[in-house]
Each structure stands twice: as C-alpha cells, then as structure tokens.
Structure 1
Amino acid sequence: MNLRKYGWLFGTTLLVGGIGGILAGFIVGRADLFDGGVGNFLIATFMNLLFGLSISVLTQMGFFAYMMLNYLAQSVFKSRGLWRNIQILLILFTFFDFVYLRYSLGVQGDSLWPYFVEPSVLLLVSVIAAYAKVRLTNPTAWVPTVFFLFVGTTIEWIPALRENAYSAIFMAVPLLFCNIWQVLHLQRLVKADPAS
C-alpha cells in the first residue's frame, strides 16, 4: 500500500463515517432534528456529521491496529490454522463477555435474553460482511473478517455501550459503516500496481 492508496482509504472512510453519522442522527435523533426551525436542523445535522467523522478516525486506528496484530500473530504462530482457531476462540469469548458483563452491570432481576440482542445483531452483520469479503477474495477471509468486524467493533463500541441504548445505536451506525467499508476495500489497496 502506498501513500496515495492510504490517502484514498482515509478520505473515503471519513466520507463514509460522516454519512453514517448523519444517518444515525436520522435514525435515533429524528425528534431532535425536526424539533425546531431550519437552523436547528442544519446545526444538528452538522454535529452528526462531525460525530461520524470522529468515529471514522477511531475505526481507522482500530483497523490498522488489527492489521498490525494480524501481521505479528502470523509471524509468531507459523501455522495459519492456529491463528485462525485463536481468532475463533476470541470471537466466542467476546460474545460471552458482551452478554455477561452487560447483564452483570444491569438491574438485578433483569432477564438475560435482551442482552443477547446487540451481540447477535453485530455477529450477524459481521458474518454477512464476511460472506461479501469471501466473494471478493477467497475463503480464507472468513475468520479474519468476522474477527475484525465483531471483536474490533465491540472494542470500539465500549464507550457507547456503557451509556444508554440511544448512544449505543448512534455510535453503532458509523462504526459499522466504516469498519465494513475498510475491510471490503483492503484487497484493492494491497494489490501491486501493474505500472510499478
């Protein structure tokens, strides 16, 4: 990947994050957007855009942190199958923690089942995106894509998960937009240019 390709990824991910922030504002903050005049609508939309842009920078840091982790793990674990199995265990561990830790911090006597919603939806989105990635590349992309999209997004999502459902959904939209965008475009960026 050269500087031009990185610049393209950075710029387009910013754009995708901004769009995700505006869309998240329409999904969860519709009442606030339309609860005033045109000025209120424009300022609220601009703030949602800035939020999405800042989330996109967070996702880019997470993406490059995962790429470094993946590179180091493949160097340490010579067997590709071992690193794949470790990623699968970490996906399962993250799913368990996602449910259990939020349940243990919730109101005593709550049902456990509502705490399965967010991790199950995130895992489903991760699997669908991994299917698209496999169609674009090869079958070995399944586990790394699900790992990055599920575990990486969960780690980046922690600040909003500690708040309320409004914050969680508001942050989830640009997070997923950016992470899916990056993972689906990576193979295009690491290919060698025919001219070089």
Structure 2
Amino acid sequence: MKIRSWIFLFFTTLLIGIVSAITVGLILKFPEDSSALEVLLYIFGLIGFGALFSVFSQMGFFAYLTVHRFGLGIFKSHRLWNGVQLVLIAVVLFDLFYLRYTSFHKEGDSLINYILIPLAILIYGLIIAYVKVKQTSNVAFIPTLFFITVVTILEWVPVLKENNTLSLWMGFVPIMLCNTYQILMLHRLLQSNQSKSSKQTKPTAL
C-alpha cells in the first residue's frame, strides 16, 4: 500500500472512531444537568476515547495482514490456513461466551445474555464477509470473517474486563465500525494503486 493510501485510510478510520464514540456516548449517557463546559469536556473525552480505539483497530488490522501472510507462507495453501482460522474463530467465540459467563454470571442471570454477543458478532461477521466476497472473490470470505470476529474481540478485551454497559458499547461500536471500514476499503485502495501503475484492477484476497 502506498503512503498516500495509508494516510487516507488512517485519517478516515480515525474520523469514524471519533464520530461513532461521540454518537454512542451521547446516546447512552447524555449529561443533561451539566453546564456547557462540562458537556464540552465530556465530548472531548469521547473524542479521545474514539481516537484511542480507532488506533487499536488500525494496529489490529495491520497486525492481521502480517499474520495472514505468515499463515499462508507456513501452511502453503489457502484451504489449510482457512481451516486453522475457522478453528480459531470457534475457540475465540466460545471463550467470549465462557469467560464472560464464568466471570460475571450472577444467580438469576439468563444464559441468553451471554450467548447473544458472540452470536451477534458471528452473524455480523458473516454478513461483512459475504459483502467482501461480492466485491472481491471467494478467497476473501474466511479472512474477513476471522478479522471481524477474532480481531475485534481481541481489541475489545480491555473494556470487556470491566463489564460496564457504557464502556462495552463505547468500545465495541468504534472498533467494529473501524474494522468493517478498513476491511472493505483495503481492496479498493489496492485496486486504485494498481490502476494507476498498470491500468489493471484485479480482485484481491482481502
């Protein structure tokens, strides 16, 4: 990826993280009985929060691109590497359910509350992977699903430990939106670079 494309991706992803954090923060906890200064300080805090998770998202994105290349090199085939990723997806989704259940379950809590989040992330990941395939090729399905599920959950771990509704959503929404944006923009940026250099555009695996 060229420097210009990376800069574009960095700042647009940063903007998505900030806007989504402000939106979620104001919806879930609007400081109604506060002065204008307190509201302004609260918004500045949300900006910092969104920017932080945007950076987490981008670090995870480029880390996965590196791991993906290593995986293909080690296993020598997409099929075998995809099988490993599917196993990891299952393990991480189960761990998300199991660890939250064993850490935060209280008597009277419904099991459904702990199943819904992993299930929702999986369904969302399947949808984004389907969109990615439509825009590129079938090879992109498993890597996209892995990134949207596994990498998102790993980036979400710092706020998962708190089990606070506000923190959970303020971390989850920016991370998920930033990850979705990056994975769906990557092939566009790569194709744009290819078209400028060779006047040809080809679908990419990611």
Give the TM-score band, short-chain normalised: over 0.9
Shift of 1:108: 5.2
1:76 is the counterpart of 2:56: no
RMSD between superposed Cα atoms in Å: 1.5
1:143 aligns to what?
142
Paired amino acid for 1:5: S
Runs of 4+ in structure 1 off by over 4 angstroms are none
- Partners of 2:116 and 2:165 lie apart in 1 by 12
| TM-score (structure 2 length as normaliser) | 0.88
Trace 1:1-196 onto structure 2 (pairs within 5 A). 1-30=1-30, 32=31, 34-107=32-105, 109=107, 110-163=109-162, 164-191=164-191, 192-196=193-197
Instruction: Give the structure 1 partner of residue 203 of structure 2.
Output: none
* Distance across 2 between alignment mates of 1:168 and 1:14: 19
Cα-to-partner distance string for 1:57-112 (whole Å, 9 max, x where unaligned): 11110001100000000011112101111111111111111111111112454443
In structure 2, C-alpha distance between the alignment counterparts of 1:96 and 1:179, rounded to whole Å: 21
Specify the alignment match of 2:202 in structure 1: none
Q: Partners in 2 of 1:94 and 1:41 — Cα distance? A: 38
Letter paired with 1:137: T
Deviations 1:158-194 (A, max 9, x none): 1111112221111111111110110000001223433
Whether the 8 Å CA contact 1:22–1:45 is kept in 2: the answer is yes
In the alignment, structure 1 segments of 5+ residues that lack a partner are none
- Using structure 1 for the length normalisation, give the TM-score: 0.93
Identity of aligned residues (%): 39
